[in-house]
Structure 1
Amino acid sequence: MNGEAVRVLTYNVRRDTARDGEFDWAGRRDAVAGTIRFHRPDVVGLQEPLAHQYADLRETVPGFEWVGDSREAEEGDGEFCPVGYRGDRFDRLDSGTFWLSPTPDDPGSVGWDAAYPRIATWVRLRDRAAGGTVLYCNTHLDHEGARARVEGARVLRERASEIREDDEPVVVGGDFNCVAGDEPYRALADDSGDAPEAKRGGQGGLRLVDAREASPYPAHGPDTTRTDFESLLPDRGIDHVFVAGAAVEGYGVAADAVGDGWFPSDHLPVVVDLDLWT
């Protein structure tokens, strides 16, 4: 089974808030949409958009079908973690949302010491030309609760392992609010003891690797993925893409500046090219 490379992009677009002043959503909307369009992803996972931001991007980034619920118990309230995919390339076979809490199927549930409900949006896509499927999971771990990040990462990995069919490729992307080597990161990408399958003796679980580490070429772009809109914030590489059953062809952090040199969000997008079905 052969197919063209699949480009995935994960991007925290920053929720709309008046305290951002000139960098509020009205001033950034077109730049965020332009960044996504320019990098031409096949699959994109967004973090933090409120309902009106999500609606804006569905309108201004054409050619995509979208799936995703808000993180609150009342649908439409709060932030979304939506996944978009090219409608001319993929068929959606299944999708869903679960909460990163001890009760993942309870809408609006808050896990451990988290400040807010946190979710993962997943979608199973079939490439029409190649015939293969891929499971894509998009998430945003809590920014305050240290335990919630670790436990949320464990829920995410365990659920992805349960949802995965056979040995289909899996992509897990998002804002993890941790850098490589931190405990939540290890819960996703390390088999030394934190991961569910490590506790089961390393058999039959989901073995995720950081796409940055799996790339055959040095990562393009900066090491950080955070900005203050006007400059890069060093040593804050907290946005990641993890893969299982996929070959990484290239990895980059897109430090696209616009206008007179500002960034469209307080995060930079991560862009990864994957060989999923060779």
Structure 2
Amino acid sequence: MKCIPKIVFMALLFICVGQLANAQKIIVATFNLRYDNPRDTGNLWVNRKQAATDLIRFHEFDLFGTQEGLLNQLNDINTALPEYSRYGAGRDDGKDAGEHSAIFYKTDRFKLLDKGDFWLSQTPEKPSLGWDATCCNRICTWVYLQDKQSGKKFWYFNVHYDHQGVVAREESSKLILQKIKTIAGNGMVLLTGDFNGDYTTVCYQRIANSGVLKDTHGEAKHAYDNNTSFNDFGKQLQDKEIIDHIFTTKQFTVKRWGILTDSYHGKYPSDHFPVMAELSY
């Protein structure tokens, strides 16, 4: 076998180094915070907020979607973690009222290019109750971000499906896919959220089998999925259902996926465990 000329070798080396540099890593998570409920005796937000923000900092999330967070909770996270900016409107008035599906992202890593919200209903352009949902407006928040390291641009959608209406959950998946097509086209997309549906449900399967998005859980070589994602503050630790999901388009490669079961003094930062995925593109 002939030796590779030095100039060819160096060219190949530079190409390989360049490819490695362009394979940017990001850590994304979905985290249902459990709303600040004064009836959560023993698990009040004032007592668990530091555990929640410590968890986010330790696991070094680059960006993450939250569910159920009220304005004061989101402000607490920003106060404790000033390295993040956030976007997300309140589901009750499109401003600050009610629960949010807010997205947090590190400002030294990402630049916000665009943003928006829509409601999971027949009238997604305004605060509204959808289909057979009976108690709550449901909202999806999205941002368009540019990675400052690589220049790559992508859309990130974050959502919280209804917990009662089966039709609402199924129709929400249809709407999400329509909105992704309209807003992002063929671009790179992340979708996170509390879907109130495990792998057996139609609402989950509509997205996972859409051909548009893939579930990062199934793409991970060794998924760290030894627990349910809804723990009910420790009351449902024996369950196995995973209802919090991270989906991506094909441009993302999944390195790791896991349910983070961090605790503090025998308690949990939320009634959901965060779900995290390490991705590259």
| TM-score using structure 2 length | 0.88
The answer to whether residue 128 in structure 2 is matched with residue 118 in structure 1 is no
Q: How many residues align?
A: 258
Rg larger for: 2
CA separation in 1, counterparts of 2:205 and 2:148? 34
Q: Deviations over 1:9-55 (max 9, x none)?
A: 11001001122101011111111111111111111100001111111
Is the 8 Å Cα contact of residues 111 and 146 (structure 2) preserved in structure 1?
Answer: yes
Confirm or deny that 1:207 pairs with 2:212. Answer: yes
Pick from 179, 185, 195: which aligns with 1:176? 195
Answer whether contact 1:208 1:242 (CA < 8 A) is retained: yes
Q: Could you tell me which residue of structure 2 aligns to residue 243 of structure 1?
A: 248
In the aligned structure 1, how far is the partner of 2:269 from the partner of 2:227?
18
Secondary structure of the residue aligned to 2:154 is strand
Moved over 4 A (4+): none
Q: CA deviation at 1:161?
A: 1.6
**Between the two proteins, what is the percent identity of the paired residues?**
36
C-alpha separation in 2, matches of 1:230 and 1:146: 26
- CA shift, 1:234, in A, is 0.9
RMSD of the TM alignment (CA)?
Answer: 1.4
Tell me what 1:159 maps to.
Answer: 179
Post-superposition Cα deviations, 1:227-259, rounded to whole Å, max 9, x if no partner, equal: 122352412310000111211111111011112
1:253 aligned onto 2:272: no
1:61 aligns with: 81
Deviates more, 1:65-74 or 1:38-47: 65-74
Alignment match, 1:201: none
TM-score, normalised relative to structure 1: 0.89
1:168 deviates by 2.6
**Corresponding position of 2:274:** 269
Unmatched 5+ residue regions in structure 1? 192-205
- State the alpha-carbon separation in 1 of the partners of residues 179 and 76 from structure 2: 30
Aligned to 1:127: 147
Counterpart residue type for residue 244 of structure 2:
D
Residue 77 of structure 1: SS of its match in structure 2? coil
Displacement of 1:221 in angstroms is 4.0
**Rounded Cα–Cα distance in structure 1 between residues aligned with 2:189 and 2:227:** 24
Q: Distance in 1 between matches of 2:227 and 2:154?
A: 27
Partner of 2:71: 51
Aligned pairs for 1:26-105 (under 5 A) are 26-73=46-93, 75-105=95-125
Q: Secondary structure at the match of 1:19?
A: coil
1:226 offset after TM fit, Å? 1.1
Query: 1:240 and 1:74 mapped to 2: Cα distance?
Result: 24
Q: 1:139 to 1:74 in 2, by over 3 A?
A: closer
Task: Say whether the 8 Å CA contact 1:120–1:140 is kept in structure 2.
Answer: yes
Q: Are 2:247 and 1:234 aligned? A: no
